[in-house]
Amino acid sequence: MTELIEKLWETGNLSDCELEALITDTHEDTAVLLAERADSVRKKYYGRKVFLRGLIEISSYCKNDCFYCGIRRSCKSAQRYRLDREQILDCAEIGYNLGLRTFVMQGGEDAFFTDDYICGIVSELRRRYPDCAITLSLGERSAESYRKLKAAGADRYLLRHETASEELYNKIHPNEMSLDNRIKCLYNLKETGFQTGAGFMVGVPWQTSADLVRDLRFLQDLQPHMIGIGPFIPHKDTPFRDAKSGSFELTIRMLGILRLMFPKVLLPATTALGTISEAGRTAGLKTGCNVIMPNISPRDAREKYNLYDNKLISGGETAEGISLLRAEIEAAGYEIADERGDFANEPIRS
Ligand code: SAH
């Protein structure tokens, strides 16, 4: 496997067969070398910096019915809430005072959040915090809507494609949803000028290594600025309640491969990764990740934004949470950056 990793490191690409071989290789030596190479590439563009993004979960209402998700429309046990403008602005203020310079508004697809309502919040955030980046993650919207949100001052948009395999996409989503539309939205976002994030879940039911190769190929085509991946984790009141979680090792392997294929990408060590393993986020940082998204939603919102079982909800939101996170990041050999952390176009000068 050493030659494949070296080849991926040198050229940023492999054939489908080679990628599958790497994805399915479970040797410890492979993981060690992959982490080493991924770390060297991340350091070339971002040094030891880790960017923090304050995550504000604005609504657990959702019109969609994705089979894996705990806030899907037909999940009866889901506790529904939405934050209003003032609550969202309060979260941002707390986050700003903790040193965060990116705010991410994420939520289910909730008709309450019209273009006008979100634009009002975005422009107020823009006015109050000219030094911060504003990221939205509010699902599939029209091209016109994306244009308005951008014009109001939003900088970035996260929309995971979830899986680039149409067959698998259709097995984990209801009929009214389509991979085509998801992909169309991602290209619209890029065209609108957003720094755009795509991504996928690792280990959803029926996913094969060939499906993961498709995800990598799709990302090569899209060339997103951010890639969010995390293990699938079952939620007890969804159709996938009895499915197994995605594997920690496979998720880490995919992160390492992503870093080598997308040297400049902003790559978070996600909450789902931290949920399946206590060492998850640290392992992610050591295998190419350079972003962490502490949750700054009000505590009761964090409990209700329940995408999967046992979702990590502690840390981040308080000064104490941030200093614990800082300690974790420093112990891993990295440092928290105090800037917005935009996509890097050039290697850093040393
Ligand atoms: N409505 C927004 C935000 C979705 S929640 C959107 O469509 O983009 C953010 C991400 O959580 C999803 O994109 C999905 O990849 C992930 N997610 C949802 N359910 C999950 C589960 N059971 N396990 C792991 N990740 C999950």
* For the chain, domain boundaries: 28-337
Residue 227 · residue 199 · CB < 8 Å: yes
Residue 349: predicted pLDDT? 77
Residue 178: predicted pLDDT? 98
Residue 1: predicted pLDDT? 83
pLDDT tens for each residue of 264-276: 999 999 999 999 9
Distance 38 CA to ligand 1 centre (A): 25
| Ligand 1 binding pocket includes 55 (Cβ within 6 Å) | no
pLDDT tens for each residue of 100-124: 999 999 999 999 999 999 999 999 9
Give CATH superfamily name and number for 28-337: Aldolase class I (3.20.20.70)
Distance 69 CA to ligand 1 centre (A): 7
Over residues 190-211, the mean pLDDT reads 98
Query: What is the spatial distance between Cα 91 and Cα 110, in angstroms, rounded to a whole number?
Result: 19
Query: Looking at ligand 1, which residue's alpha carbon is closest to its atom 24?
Result: 232
Residue 350: predicted pLDDT? 62
Distance 7 CA to ligand 1 centre (A): 33
Helices of type H across 53-136: 85-97, 115-128
Over residues 11-16, the mean pLDDT reads 98
Per the DSSP assignment, residues forming a β-bridge with 266 are 226
Over residues 316-332, the mean pLDDT reads 84
* Closest atom of ligand 1 to CA, residue 238: 22
Over residues 25-39, the mean pLDDT reads 97
Instruction: State pTM to two decimals.
Output: 0.97
DSSP-derived secondary structure for 199-250 = -BEES-TT--HHHHHHHHHHHHHH--SEE--EE----TTSTTTTSPPPPHHH
Residue 348: predicted pLDDT? 86
pLDDT tens for each residue of 56-99: 999 999 999 999 999 999 999 999 999 999 999 999 999 999 99
Query: Looking at ligand 1, which residue's alpha carbon is closest to its atom 12?
Result: 160
Percent of the chain with pLDDT over 70: 98
| Ligand 1 binding pocket includes 69 (Cβ within 6 Å) | yes
Residue 347 has what DSSP assignment? P
Distance 10 CA to ligand 1 centre (A): 33
